Amino acid sequence: MSRGTTREVEVNCVVNGIPHKLRVLPMARLLDVLREELRLTGTKEGCGEGECGACSVLIDGELINSCLVPVLQIEDAEIKTIEGVASGAQLHAVQEAFIECGGAQCGICTPGMVLAAMSLLEVTPQPTDAEIRNGLAGNLCRCTGYMKIFDAVVRACEREGVKA
Amino acid sequence: MQTDAIGKIVPRKEGRSKVTGAARYVDDLDMPDMLYGATVRSPAPRGRIRLITFDEDIPWDEFVIVTAKDIPGENAVALILLDQPYLASGFVNHAEEPILLLAHADKQLLERARRAVKIEIEESPPVFTLEESLARREIIWGEDNVFKSYLVDKGNVDEVLDSADLIVEGEYSTGAQEQLYIETNGVIAVANEAEGVTVWGSMQCPYYVHKALLKLFALPPEKVRVVQCETGGGFGGKEEYPSMIGGHAALLSLKAGGRPVKIIYDRAEDMVATTKRHPSLTRHRTAVTRDGKLLGMEIDFVVDGGAYATLSAVVLSRGTIHAAGPYSCPNVRIRSRAVATNVPPHGAFRGFGAPQSIFALERHFDKVADAVGLSPEEFRRRNFIREGETTATGQVIKEPVDMAGLLDRAFELTDYQAKRERFTRENADGGRKTMKRGIGFASFMHGAGFTGSGEDYLKSVVGAEAGTDGRVRLLAASTEIGQGTNTIFAQIASSALGIDYELIDMAQPDTNNVPDSGPTVASRTCMILGKLIESAALGLKQTLQGAGLLAENYTQVEWQEACRLHVEQYGALKSFSQYKPPPGVHWDDEKYQGDAYGAYAWAVYVAEVTVDLLTYETRVDDFVAVQEVGKVVHPILAAGQIEGGVAQAIGFTLYENVVWQNGRMINNQMTNYVMPTSADLPPIRVHFEEQPYAYGPAGGAKGIGELPMDGGAPAILNAIEHATGVQFTHVPLMPEALMRGLGETT
Amino acid sequence: MRAYLPDYELRAPQSLSDALQLLAREPGVWRAFAGGTDLMVLLEFGLLPHKNFLSIRHLPELKGIEVTPEHILLGALSSYTNIQRHETMRREFPLLCAAARETGGIAIQNRGTLGGNIANASPAADSPPALLVYDAELELVSARGARFVEYRNFHTDYKQMDMRADELLCRIRLPRATGDLQTYYRKVGTRKAQAISKVCFAAGGRLSDSGLIRDVRLALGSVAPTVVRCTRTEDLLHDQTLDEATIKAACAMLAQEVLPIDDMRSTAQYRLRVAANLLADFLSTLKTGDASSNSTHEHA
């Protein structure tokens, strides 16, 4: 049996502010590299096809489904995962709001949802209800019916100093 | 400091770990020397396993391979019956039935190997629908394809059907629905001869898995340990299935000499192979007087259980008992059956039979109302059950239920009457229309806890332990799966003891450390287990007071001091509480009569829709859920349960269509089996009424986890009928079917 | 993840020129890999038979949106987000912006590319109908030079296109003469976001001062093996009075120009009927008058 001929390649990137030199197969999913190589398990797999958004991360500030990114393509990129959102013990306004408003139930969609909400507020600081619904439509939640997630986004806006 | 936490918005116990990504689900765990496991499954729906070949291309000597022959105990998943094998040997009864297991350290190679095992099946004629099963052209299970049947017989229905002014008939059906928890099924197992079996995983019921493993491995209870990890949604889909996947991982680990084995299903495997909601078919014959009083109801209710019995008897039971709804009717006969088909066994999904039978009833009652010449609500008002009256099983309602009041409230919140009239007018006025609007409702109830003698049989136990610092650890097998178990239990204990919510911890559900509190299902966690938590906590107080260490009234500091002294003097400070049925509850399992549930939550849901006449899509514009729930323990968690359940009900009604081909779900990916996104759902507005249940915790809480699943489908289809004038009778109602129903096919 | 990763090669060429040289030297061996939003899904299901890919995502010649007096030129790597945020695109090409907004969700829009969408050649893609209405042209480059292909001739059959193994899609060119076109876009999917279309309808047209139908462009997705421009229906409509008879005749002609199928998501019957409904709706929205209205009638 041929075990494949592709060699691992070196990929340099910055994840949550920390530079990494990875040795990986070029087509490996960024999702798996984050979870398995870097042991950043906050980013989740929900569908493996870019439908559910549980794997969302920020790549150079843009919300992206990490299950659809081959690791070769993040050469020189800056990646932020859920682990990089809080500043030490200080939670981000969106995280605080999720706790206050009940935006997380089982929590599996929450990392992706928090990043999606942060990304939305970065682009549209005072979103309307329709803009919130549209901005989060790529992140599926089976537990909440989204209502308390919308509340959390609105609460995060209301708090002072909402920043990405 | 929050000591009177009931009814307050306290932070979710594990909220911080969830929003920071620190919460550990099973696939986040790693163990040294771990292997990955995969399942090789039947390609055909029914037949004899003729040949298994292993393609030459793979280094099989590197793999751990497990077949039925490797099972030390019994090859059966212990649940109710023992008909479902862990691994098929000889015959298969559904597509995707597990036959063989593989393990290897290289996940990539493992997947390649999985595809390199070829299973040849000598096929027999399969049965794919409940109609085919009832017709009995092929017997595929037992003597007559029937897993279970029930008969509820109240009064004399035949007499009434002979003499009634008016009889209205109808037939209603529901399709399968996938639970679609965002975290798929997964486990890690370690099994060796010396120490026994340990399974960690995503699950709702650690003791169900425990019981199943005992049988699979022929081990005594102390040699099996099951631990629940943070679980990313269950909704019933992880009630029974973890026993299967847990057993598989453990078998591989045993064969691998005790190396840990992790099995995580990808989405495609989870959807195609694991349980779904039972499809159903309900026939109604309803006798009414000319002024709309119910005289008699004859109901035939059938559910499709798939290939093995699993939980179908219990799903059938709940569906049967809820089939006649919150109405007073002197003569009721409900005949129900759960039948076998050659598809992967169907299983628990929020509502558990009730959404199916309630859908039929509430659709049918709009039809009956129309036949009598009454509005849907007037017909309901004339028949709502009241205190002192009896249900279909003869249960006397012993609380002041006010369905009419709930209806009034729901109508007020939605401006129902005005909209009903306005939409009727607007839909009828001439001219080219691109949309029509409708508003409809459903009235229903949902019983909490196990049916009849079920809770008695479970004899659930919970415990509470106080440490030297006065912190209290709650010991229960009740799992947190998003609904808020950890939080409400802590609220209840905190309130019972008068100490800070922050001092209460939940022990991780680990069968080594927590007693068997029964499964996390049946809307029992708050109402039944919450009550036990309350009394276990009070037991700690009583112990301290009995030992003279704590006064009648005390401060938190005094509490902490008392705990410290007690532990130092007497050792561990623990208190256990076991379920006892409330007085005056009687259930006859033979006749299927009596007090089916300790308490019911009562509800009226209203849906407002727009039907797009260009695309035949239905949009729910507004949804109001009004329910009486005894006592709201946590306003946000309670509302969250209703909102989430309504969202799933909307999915069940308009979006979630399982496409079957040759007994297999072929749209088994999220691209093609669609649940609603944030852009699809309406505002879901929730209103609670409280009529405390005497035996409920925290001042009278009832169970609400499944209730919100029941009302959406009939309310929406009633609204669509208002909009279009067409009597749709099946969910999911897809645009293609709506188009056909409108007669617009060319 | 069902693919055996050691079998897959992904390389990032240093420059466009290097990429084109490699494609010329080893024809058929290498395929372009842009955002990956289609290819990675196939990979994950173990359904990607092709094994060698060139990552083109970093090549500057394929990026950017250039506006000239006559045209707008979209780099093949333009993402759906890039398209929606571009002022000229919003003002003059609302159909393409509507299509971009309906594609997936935000994360897909950030990553997916217009060039990738075209080259993936799914008949259900959201942007191609808009491109057909706008008479798009594709610039294909190779080691041998560059050529322009009219997009309406590009897709020849299901997943077949007029693009050679050594070519890369470089830019999409749209003529800017859209001022007086009234446009209509409707994607009918399985849900409002993250959906594959069952029917995708893009149209443009206007009425003359005397109320005759002019300059109609009708393009549909998900109703044939490729995206289609319904030229026979367009011809039938040209210079006709806008009335019930005309609409009826147009719908009948449309039914002959499309070839929808039954599949896991929908039925041929539904697709046909909805396409006709949308055509009738589009026609009924055409108004005489001020050309500067350029209102795209869209449904969220």
Contact call for residues C44 and C2 (beta carbons, < 8 A):
yes
**Segment 68-127 of chain C within 8 Å of chain B by CB:** 105
**For the residues B286-312, what does the mean pLDDT come to?**
98
Q: Comparing C-alpha atoms, which of B346, B380, B347 is closest to residue B361?
A: B380
Contact call for residues A137 and C192 (beta carbons, < 8 A):
yes
Residue pLDDT, tens place only, B195-206: 999 999 999 999
Count other Cβ atoms within 10 Å, centred on residue C71. 15
Q: Do C273 and B739 touch (CB under 8 A)?
A: yes
What is the chain A residue with the closest CA to B183?
A46
Contact call for residues B440 and B718 (beta carbons, < 8 A):
yes
- Say whether residue C105 is in contact with chain A using an 8 A CB cutoff: yes
Q: Which H or E run includes B570?
A: helix B556-570
Q: Comparing C-alpha atoms, which of C152, C156, C172, C173 is closest to residue C164?
A: C156
CA-based end-to-end distance of chain A: 49
Nearest CB neighbour to C190, from listed B268, B613, B674: B674
The half-sphere exposure of C122 on its side-chain side, counting CA atoms within 13 A, is: 17
What is the chain B residue with the closest CA to A85?
B20
| Torsion angle of C-alpha atoms A118, A121, A127, A133, degrees rounded to 10 | -30
What is the chain A residue with the closest CA to B484?
A105
Backbone angles phi, psi at C149, to 5 degrees: -125, 135
Q: Do B679 and A46 touch (CB under 8 A)?
A: no
List strands edge to edge, sheet with B186-192.
B64-66, B98-104, B35-41, B261-264, B186-192, B196-201, B224-228
Residue pLDDT, tens place only, B504-534: 999 999 999 999 999 999 999 999 999 999 9
Interface test with B, best of C40, C270, C283, C297 (most B CBs within 10 A): C270
Residue B47 C-alpha, separation from nearest chain A C-alpha, in angstroms:
32
Count H helices and E strands in chain C, helices first: 11, 15
Q: Do C111 and A130 touch (CB under 8 A)?
A: no
Count how many residues are written for chain A.
Answer: 164
**For the residues B244-254, what does the mean pLDDT come to?**
98
- Say whether residue C45 is in contact with chain A using an 8 A CB cutoff: yes
Contact call for residues B79 and B207 (beta carbons, < 8 A):
no
Q: Do B679 and C1 touch (CB under 8 A)?
A: no
* Residues paired with B684 in a beta bridge: B623
Contact call for residues B440 and B722 (beta carbons, < 8 A):
yes
pLDDT value of position C300: 37
The two structure tokens encoding residue B299: 């109901």
Residue A128 C-alpha, separation from nearest chain B C-alpha, in angstroms:
13
Query: Percentage of residues in chain B with pLDDT exceeding 70?
Result: 100
Count other Cβ atoms within 10 Å, centred on residue B393. 24
Interface test with B, best of C264, C266, C284, C298 (most B CBs within 10 A): C264
Q: Nearest-5° angle of CA B90, CA B93, CA B97?
A: 85
Q: How confident is the model at residue B431 (pLDDT cuts 50, 70, 90)?
A: confident
pLDDT value of position C115: 98
Residue pLDDT, tens place only, A48-76: 999 999 999 999 999 999 999 999 999 99
DSSP single-letter state for residue B352 = T
> Residues in chain C with pLDDT < 50?
291-295, 300
Q: Which residues of B touch A132 (CB under 8 A)?
A: 678
> Residues in chain A with pLDDT < 70?
1-2, 160-164
Nearest CB neighbour to B674, from listed C195, C269, C270: C195
The two structure tokens encoding residue C272: 């046909």
**pLDDT of B387 strictly over 80:** yes
Q: Do A95 and B183 touch (CB under 8 A)?
A: no
Residue pLDDT, tens place only, B626-680: 999 999 999 999 999 999 999 999 999 999 999 999 999 999 999 999 999 999 9
The two structure tokens encoding residue B368: 């009956």
* Residues paired with A87 in a beta bridge: A90
Nearest CB neighbour to B677, from listed C192, C264, C267: C192
pLDDT value of position C289: 57
Residue pLDDT, tens place only, B524-582: 999 999 999 999 999 999 999 999 999 999 999 999 999 999 999 999 999 999 999 99
Q: Do A69 and C104 touch (CB under 8 A)?
A: no
Helix (H, G, I), strand (E, B) or coil at C67: strand
Within B423-565, strands assigned E span 435-448, 461-466, 472-475, 504-506
Q: Do B112 and C269 touch (CB under 8 A)?
A: no
Q: Do A44 and B183 touch (CB under 8 A)?
A: yes
Cα gap C277→B480, rounded to integer Å: 49
- Say whether residue A34 is in contact with chain B using an 8 A CB cutoff: no
Helix (H, G, I), strand (E, B) or coil at B132: helix
Cα gap B641→A105, rounded to integer Å: 9
- Identify the residue whose tokens are 């997380």: A104
- Say whether residue C292 is in contact with chain B using an 8 A CB cutoff: no
Backbone angles phi, psi at A78, to 5 degrees: -105, 120
Residue pLDDT, tens place only, C103-153: 999 999 999 999 999 999 999 999 999 999 999 999 999 999 999 999 999
Q: Do C37 and A68 touch (CB under 8 A)?
A: yes
The two structure tokens encoding residue B262: 């992790």
Q: Which residues lie closer than 8 Å to B498 by C-beta, 6 or more apart?
A: B3, B4, B554, B556, B559
pLDDT value of position C298: 61
* Residues paired with B191 in a beta bridge: B197
**pLDDT of B366 strictly over 60:** yes
Interface test with A, best of B10, B17, B20, B634 (most A CBs within 10 A): B20
Q: What is the CA radius of gyration of chain C?
A: 20
User: What's the mean pLDDT when you consider all of chain B?
Assistant: 97
Nearest CB neighbour to A68, from listed C7, C111, C193: C111
> What is the 3-class SS of B490-513, one letter each residue?
HHHHHHHHCCCHHHEEECCCECCC
Q: Which residues of A touch B669 (CB under 8 A)?
A: 47, 49, 51
Contact call for residues C277 and B742 (beta carbons, < 8 A):
no
* Residues paired with A22 in a beta bridge: A11
pLDDT value of position B392: 98
pLDDT value of position C293: 41
Q: Do C106 and A27 touch (CB under 8 A)?
A: no
The two structure tokens encoding residue C20: 């084109």
- Say whether residue C194 is in contact with chain B using an 8 A CB cutoff: yes
Contact call for residues B285 and B323 (beta carbons, < 8 A):
no
CA distances from B537 to B3, B252, B694 (A): 14, 41, 19
pLDDT value of position C288: 73
Count how many residues are written for chain B.
Answer: 746
Cα gap B12→B487, rounded to integer Å: 5
Cα gap B338→B309, rounded to integer Å: 9
Q: Which residues lie closer than 8 Å to B430 by C-beta, 6 or more apart?
A: none
| Torsion angle of C-alpha atoms B518, B522, B523, B528, degrees rounded to 10 | -40
Neighbours of chain B (3+ CB pairs under 8 A): A, C
Q: Which residues of C touch A67 (CB under 8 A)?
A: 40, 44
Written as one letter, the residue type at B704 is: I
H helix intervals, B26-156? 107-115, 130-135
- Say whether residue B434 is in contact with chain A using an 8 A CB cutoff: no
Q: Which residues lie closer than 8 Å to B634 by C-beta, 6 or more apart?
A: B7, B8, B9, B10, B484, B487, B488, B491
**pLDDT of B745 strictly over 70:** no
Neighbours of chain C (3+ CB pairs under 8 A): A, B
pLDDT value of position B588: 95
Contact call for residues B538 and B222 (beta carbons, < 8 A):
no
**Segment 93-152 of chain A within 8 Å of chain B by CB:** 95, 98-111, 114, 132-134, 136-150
Residue pLDDT, tens place only, C42-67: 999 999 999 999 999 999 999 999 99
Q: What is the CA radius of gyration of chain B?
A: 26
- A-C interface: how many C-beta pairs under 8 angstroms? 109
